[in-house]
Amino acid sequence: MKINIYYGGRGIVDDPSLYVVDRMAEVLKELNVQVTTYKLFEQNITTLSNTIKDADGIILASTVEWYGIGGYMMQFLDACWLYTDKAKIASLYMMPVVMSTTYGERDGVTSLETAWEILGGLLCDGICGYIADTSIFDKNAEYKRLLEKKAENFYRTISQKMPGLPTSNQVVKQKVSLTRSQDLTPQESEQLSHYVSDEKYVETQKADIRELSSIFRDKLKEDENLGKEENYINLFKEAFSPNKDVHGSYGITVSDRPGMKTIIIKAAGTALGIQAAAGDAELDVAMQMTRDTLDDIVSGRMTFQRAFMAGNMKMKGDFKLLRGLDQIFVFKGESN
C-alpha cells in the first residue's frame, strides 16, 4: 500500500498540522505502508499533482493561520482538477487534516472534503482541531492515541475498499461543471505560465503576430489578384477577331483593384499583342473602369463604347480608335 501526504502549510516551527501528519506517518510505516510526504512550499505544485496516480490514498494537510486552508493547498487542488486523471481520483481515498492556530479548522475540513468530492474522489473521516501549541500532544496521551486510531482507520478503509454513498457535489459536477481538455502536459503548462507572466515577452509575441498577420494578409491579396490579369488576357485572345483596318494601342486599368496590373492591348491588323504591365505607358487610348464593368464587357453584356457612353468607363485618347476594340473583340453573347 502507498499513501502520499501533501502538506500545505508554511513549514514553520511547531506547526500543528505538520506534527499530526508526521505522527500518522510513523503509525502507517509500522503497518508496512509506503509513506511519502510532500511539502507543497518546496515543490513545483503544477507537476506534483501527477504523483497521486501511484497512490492508494492521500492525506491533505493544512494549517489555518488566519483564514482558510491557504494558497498552496488551493493551488494543488487546482492542478488536480486541471491535470490529474479523474478516473484515478475516483478510486482514491482522501483524509483531510486541518489544524488551526486561530479559528476555522472545521471550515477547512469542509473545504477539502467538498473539493475532493467535486473531483470525484472518495472520503475518509478527517481530523481537525484547535492547537495553539504542539506541546499539548506531549502532555495529553489521549490525543496521541486519537492520532494513531485515525491513521489505523485510514489504513483499514483503504485495505477494505469501503464504499461511500453518492453526494450531491458529484451530481452537480456531472450536470454543470465542465472542464476543457488540456492538450499541454503539466510541465508545458508551467513553462507557458512563466512566459505569459512576462509582459515584455507577451508584447513581443503580439508584435510578431501582428507583423505575420500583415504579411499573410498582403500575400492573400496578392494571391487573390494573381492570375486575374491572365484570365482577362485569355478571354481577350479567345474573342479576338482580326480586322486589317484596326491599328492602335490600348490600356485597361481596373480602378477598384489596385493590385491588378494594366492590361495592354496592341492591335495591328491581324496581329495582336496583349500583356499585363505596371506603370504608365504611351498609349493611343487609356481606359479606366471597375472590375464589374470589365466583367460585363468580357461576358458580352456590354461593349466598350456603351460603357463609355453610360459613364461606366473613363478614357483618354481617340474615340474613333475606341470603336476599333468592339470590332476586333467579339465576346461570347455579344451581338454582332
Instruction: Spell out the long-range contacts of 105-114 with Cβ–Cβ below 8 A and sequence spacing 24 or more.
Output: 105/64, 105/129, 105/130, 107/64, 107/68, 108/62, 108/64, 108/68, 108/69, 111/68, 111/69, 112/60, 112/62, 112/69, 112/73, 114/169
Q: Is the pLDDT of residue 166 over 80?
A: no
Least confident of 161-165, 255-259, 271-275, 303-307: 161-165
- The reply to whether 194 and 151 lie within a common domain is no
User: Do residues 264 and 203 both lie within one domain?
Assistant: no
* Mean pLDDT confidence for 208-230: 68
Of 213 and 313, more confident: 313
Amino acid 132: pLDDT: 87
One domain, residues 48 and 195: no
Residue 335 domain-assigned (yes or no)? no
pLDDT in tens, 18-31: 999 999 999 999 99
> Confidence class of residue 174 from pLDDT cuts 50, 70 and 90?
low
pLDDT higher for 335 or 94?
A: 94
Q: Clarify whether residues 10 and 47 are in a common domain.
A: yes
Task: Tell me: pLDDT of 190 over 60.
Answer: no
Residues 209 and 234 in one domain: no
Helices (H), the chain: 16-30, 45-48, 71-83, 86-89, 105-119, 135-139, 141-160, 168-176, 186-196, 199-225, 228-239, 291-298, 304-309, 319-328
pLDDT of residue 335: 43
Residue 206 pLDDT > 70, yes or no? Answer: yes
Strands 285-289 and 313-317: antiparallel
20, 66: one domain: yes
**Domain of 150: which CATH number?**
3.40.50.360
One domain, residues 52 and 77: yes
Q: Could you tell me which residue, 37 or 162, shows the higher pLDDT?
A: 37
Instruction: Say if residue 260 is in the same domain as residue 321.
Output: yes
pLDDT at 336: 40
Burial of 31 from C-beta contacts in 10 A (0-12 / 13-18 / 19+): middle
Model confidence at 59, pLDDT cuts 50, 70, 90, reads very high
pLDDT band at residue 264 using 50, 70 and 90 as cut-offs:
very high
* Structural domain contains residue 334: no
| Residue predicted with more confidence, 110 or 205 | 110
Burial class (CB within 10 angstroms; exposed 0-12, middle 13-18, buried 19+) of 97: buried
User: Mean per-residue pLDDT for 187-207?
Assistant: 64
Count structural domains, the chain: 3
Q: What's the rounded Cα separation, in Å, for the pair 305 and 325?
A: 9
Angle 324-231-300 from CA coordinates, rounded to 5°: 45
- The pLDDT, as a whole number, for residue 219 is 62
Both 217 and 241 in a single domain?
no
- What per-residue confidence (pLDDT) applies to 230? 86
Q: What is the mean pLDDT of residues 159-163?
A: 87
Domain that holds residue 259: 228-328
The whole-angstrom separation of Cα 158 and Cα 90 is 13
Maximal C-alpha separation, the chain: 123
Which of the four pLDDT bands, split at 50, 70 and 90, describes residue 138? confident
Query: Which amino acid belongs to residue 42?
Result: E
Q: Are residues 217 and 237 in the same domain?
A: no
- Give yes or no for residue 196 having a pLDDT over 60: no
Find the CATH number of the domain harbouring 277.
3.30.1050.10
Is residue 182 included in any domain, yes or no? no
> Is 198 a residue whose pLDDT tops 80?
no
Mean pLDDT of 35-60: 92
4-8 mean pLDDT: 96
- Looking at the fold, whether 294 and 152 belong to one and the same domain comes out as no
pLDDT at 111: 94
pLDDT > 70: what percent of the chain? 84
- The pLDDT value recorded for residue 199 is 66
| pLDDT of 233 over the 70 cut | yes
Please state the rounded mean pLDDT for residues 42-52: 89
Using CA atoms, how far apart are residues 241 and 329, in angstroms rounded to an integer?
Answer: 6
